[in-house]
Chain A
Amino acid sequence: MRPLPAAGPAPARVIPHPEASHAVTAHLGMVIFLASWAMLFAGLFFAYGLVRSRAAAWPPLDQPALPLALPGANVAVAALGSAALLLAARPLRRGDPRAAARSLAAAALLGAIFLALQARVWTSLWAQGLRPDGGPYASVFYTLTAFHAVHVLVGLGALVVLAWRAWRGSRGSGRPVPARLWTMYWHFVAAVWFLMYLTVYVL
């Protein structure tokens, strides 16, 4: 005769606060989303590596080399944006939405600077004759940087909304969770930019 297996009362749990529990769930969802998106970028980096390894010369002899200074400055800009968002976390917890709004707005401004600098890189290369349809070198450069810029743009839009809400003290301003989720997103975008800078511009 087989004894009743694994029957027994449920193990005791630390009783969580509903709000805190929902925050953990939301963070987990964000981590899973970012893991998923990391794979998308991994696919693009894979494409970069394979295309480049097949090329005879990189950059091709008749096409301009990529600049280092402005994209490098953008690594710092993205990192500063991350830092500004970290600063927003504490006033949000304390319940000081105005202070948080200032940090969020600073991060949004840094996002805008990032896009402006990147636009400057694109226009100068475009002026030198580098077009997306000008062969694999141009294709991977424009695709990777533009796809990343779209993510910065999305983050920028979210930060503007968050900052505006926090300043107005309107709906959702009391909840730190959305800001924390977008902070995670921004860290991700900044980290991807660092990798992209190393891969596409430096190496």
Chain B
Amino acid sequence: MSVPAHALVADELQPIHPAPTSFLRRYLFSEDHKVIARQFLWAGLIFLLLGGSLAMLIRWQWAYPGRPVPVVGRLLLGGSGGVIGPATYQDLFTMHGLIMIFFAITPVLIGAFGNFIIPLQIGARDMAFPKLNMLSFWTFALSQLLMILSFFAPLGPAGAGWTTYPPLSTNVGTPGAGQTLVVAAIFVTGAATIMGSINYVTTVIRLRAPGMTWLRLPLAVWGMWLTAILNVLFVPVLGSAALLLLLDRSFGTQFFIAGAASVRGGGDPVLFQHLFWIFGHPEVYILILPAWGIVGDLVSFFARKPAYWYRGSVLAMVAVTVLSAVVYGHHMFLTGMSPLLGQGFMLLTLIISVPGMVLVFNWLYTLWRGSIRFEVPMLFTLGTIFVFGVGGLTGLFLGDISLDIYLHDTMFVVGHFHFTMAAASFLGLMAGIYFWFPKMFGKQLDQRLGRVHFWVSVVGITLVFGGQLLAGYAGQQRRLYDPFEYTFISHLRGLNRWTSYLAFALFVGQMVFVWNFLASALGKGRAADRNPWQVGTLEWTDAASPPAHHNYDHIPSVLRGPHEFADPAVRQALGRDWIGQAEELPDPVASATGRA
């Protein structure tokens, strides 16, 4: 078969570079997007485990406040005889939040999957700027190192909450070097994110294979691309906030300090909240858009049907991206914001649920009457849809000002954002890991262990975060060291204790995944086929498992969209229910006459 001219041009524009041979260039300072993806995956999963362990300590405190932590207590908290003290408790929930958001979910969902699937799914040989990509990972690794170092600082790591609100986060509230290190880590990780995102945005615009039009992109690429745009535009705003906070902490400037400690009236603590949430609200969509994209593709792949209203899903994700930039005020309803402004933010916040619902309905319609294959990635996809539904609906409560006045700063908020940012992002990224693991490592994960992991995760997550919602609705404030000191919360001790037991079970259940992952990635797991899921996107149809250093010997010429399932013409010609994005369909007339 002759190679079309435009494909040759594409080959020439991205020449094949020989794979590096030295260990250092191949595994450590690699410019290969697939290696960098695996580096992000390992770095992120290790921190996911660390963040989860911190959560267990928090849950212990809520179950048995003031009692020594069993097993690890004496080791970690020798000074207090294993008891979690109030300051340590603050450090725990602060570091749990920051680690999970910036150093676990972000690197896995965006760093690992973005790096892995963007070039492969658009039919490119690598990112647009491979060196920048390498720099992005090592900058990120530096930020992780700063986080680790902060644990060893005198007075402990950061303790001002993940939102790092001043005046608590200034020297007045948290004088230790740990808080400074953590703010610096946020700034550095922001720089790493920006480098990666510049790469993602440019790569999708410039390096799509011939025929890979915008509306033939897999939804996962759309989600990743829109996330990258939000990262490029809004992470710098967080950078400005972190920069000003660092200056306040280290050079005595007066941006956020107010009250008695200030000079000449000082600045305004609310300024930080503005800057933080201008970034922070896009951030929650930054963490969910990649998962939405993955879910959009996977429901189609495993329901063996074209994605319902693909354009609608794309438009909805674009709409969410745009709207996410103008709703941040709903985090600040109780800062004395003008009621008129508050109502504007409330309206925009409630409007953003419309494109969200378009996505959910598109997924449900895709499932409707499909021949669903309940493989492990599909189970996690369905779990994502469920927990995201719960998270989205509870968001409507909080977006409404009159209800938010009651629910603000309660465990209801904690439950809500755990259902969206933690549960949906976590299950989404697990769907991605189970789905792309064969392509990433060339081995299969054990599917039976995967099923066990799924059921433990989805049931555990729902009950644990559901317990938080209930506690919050009953009036339990978040971040309390010993909530049961308060008479109006003391009757919630049983609920908290049971939630903690379930959280411990959830954590232990994750060890099934740890074992499965390590055994398959490092051990002699079963070799994966080229296309074990029988789907049509380029990484499965046109590249080996794992792909060669240059991904594609010839850059594929794309002919159709990513979700071509159950087409009678394809079934007649090829005898299967799927066709590759770059696969030529034999001429039906010729094959028909051939049979006759």
Complex Cα spacing A3 to B306, Å: 13
Over the window 1-16 of chain A, the binary record of Cβ atoms lying under 8 Å from chain B Cβ atoms (1 yes, 0 no) is 1111111111111011
B211 and A11 within 8 A (CB): yes
Cβ–Cβ contact B206 & A143, under 8 A = no
Q: A32-B201, A32-B232, A136-B254 are in contact. Are A46 and B275 (CB under 8 A)?
A: yes
Contact across chains for B567 and A4 when beta carbons are under 8 A apart:
yes
Cβ-defined contact, A147 with B243, below 8 A: yes
Contact of B561 among A5, A12, A21, A28 (CB under 8 A): A5
- Interface centre among B199, B236, B268, B567, by most chain A C-beta atoms within 10 angstroms, is B236
Are B233 and A43 touching (Cβ within 8 A)?
no
Alpha-carbon gap, A2 to B211, bound state (A): 22
The reply to whether B251 and A40 contact each other, CB–CB distance below 8 Å, is no
Asked if B574 is at the interface of the complex by the 8 Å CB criterion, the answer is: no
A21-46, CB < 8 A from B: 21-22, 24-25, 28-29, 32-33, 35-37, 39-44, 46
* Minimal Cβ-Cβ distance residue in A for B15: A18
**Bound Cα distance A11, B4 (Å):** 11
One of A47-55, A68-76, A117-125, A188-196 at the interface: A47-55
Q: Is the CB of B239 within 8 A of A40?
A: yes
CB closest residue in chain A, given B216: A6
Q: Quick one: CB contact mask for B240-278 with A, threshold 8 Å, 1 for yes?
A: 110110010001111100000011111110010011001
B263 x A135 contact (CB < 8 A): yes
Whether A36 pairs with B236 at a CB distance below 8 angstroms is: yes
A9 near B4: Cβ-Cβ < 8 Å: yes
B13 within 8 A of A: yes
| Complex contacts, A7 vs chain B, CB 8 Å | 559-560, 585
List, in ascending order, chain B residues with CB within 8 A of A39's CB: 233-234, 236-237
| A60 CA to B59 CA, complexed, in Å | 50
Kindly state the separation between the CA atoms of A133 and B252 in the bound complex, as whole angstroms. 5
Q: Could you say which of A47, A54, A55 has the most chain B C-beta atoms within 10 Å of its C-beta?
A: A47
For B7, list chain A residues within 8 Å (CB).
10
CB contact under 8 A between A37 and B236, given known A47-B271, A55-B265, A134-B264: yes
B residues less than 8 Å from A133 (CB atoms): 251-254, 263
Q: A4-B569, A56-B265 are in contact. Are A140 and B255 (CB under 8 A)?
A: yes
Whether B202 is near chain A, meaning CB under 8 Å from some CB there, is: yes
> Measured between C-beta atoms, what is the minimum distance from B197 to chain A in Å?
8
Judge whether B198 and A36 touch: CB under 8 Å: yes
Residue of A9, A21, A24, A139 touching B559 (CB-CB under 8 A): A9
Closest CB-CB distance, B53 to chain A, in whole Å?
A: 34
Is A64 among interface residues, defined by CB-CB distance under 8 A? no
Q: When the two chains form their complex, are residues A35 and B240 in contact, meaning their CB atoms are under 8 A apart?
A: no
Flag if B9 contacts A13 (CB, 8 Å).
yes
Interface residues of B in 178-212 (CB under 8 A from A): 194, 197-199, 201-202, 205-207, 210-211
Kindly state whether residue B448 has any CB partner on chain A within 8 Å.
no
Q: Is B553 an interface residue (CB 8 A)?
A: no
- In the complex formed, the residue of A with least CB distance to B561 is A6
Kindly report which residue of chain B lies nearest to residue A24, judged by CB atoms. Answer: B206
Interface membership of B105, Cβ < 8 A? no
What is the CA–CA distance of A60 and B266 in the complex, to the nearest angstrom? 12
Contact, CB under 8 Å: B264 / A60: yes
Name the residue of chain B whose CB is nearest to the CB of A41: B240
Contact of B585 with A4 in the complex, beta carbons under 8 Å: yes
Q: Is the CB of B237 within 8 A of A135?
A: no
Q: What's the Cα separation between A44 and B213 when bound, in Å? A: 38
CB nearest neighbor in A for B129: A29
CB-defined interface of B107-133 with A at 8 Å, one 1/0 digit per residue?
000000000000000000000110010
Q: Which residues of B contact A60 (CB under 8 A)?
A: 264
Whether A50 lies near B233 (C-beta < 8 A) is no
Complex: A18 Cα to B9 Cα, angstroms: 9
Interface of A toward B, CB cutoff 8 Å = 1-13, 15-16, 18, 21-22, 24-25, 28-29, 32-33, 35-37, 39-44, 46-47, 50-51, 54-56, 60, 132-140, 142-143, 147
* 20 more A-B residue pairs beyond the given contacts A5-B306, A39-B234, A55-B265, with a C-beta to C-beta distance below 8 A: A2-B568, A5-B561, A8-B559, A10-B210, A10-B211, A10-B557, A29-B198, A32-B198, A33-B194, A36-B235, A43-B236, A46-B274, A47-B275, A51-B271, A135-B262, A136-B267, A138-B254, A140-B255, A142-B253, A143-B247
**Can you name 19 A-B residue pairings with CB atoms under 8 Å?**
A1-B568, A2-B568, A3-B569, A6-B215, A10-B558, A12-B6, A13-B9, A18-B15, A25-B202, A32-B232, A39-B233, A43-B240, A43-B241, A43-B278, A47-B255, A135-B266, A139-B247, A140-B255, A143-B247
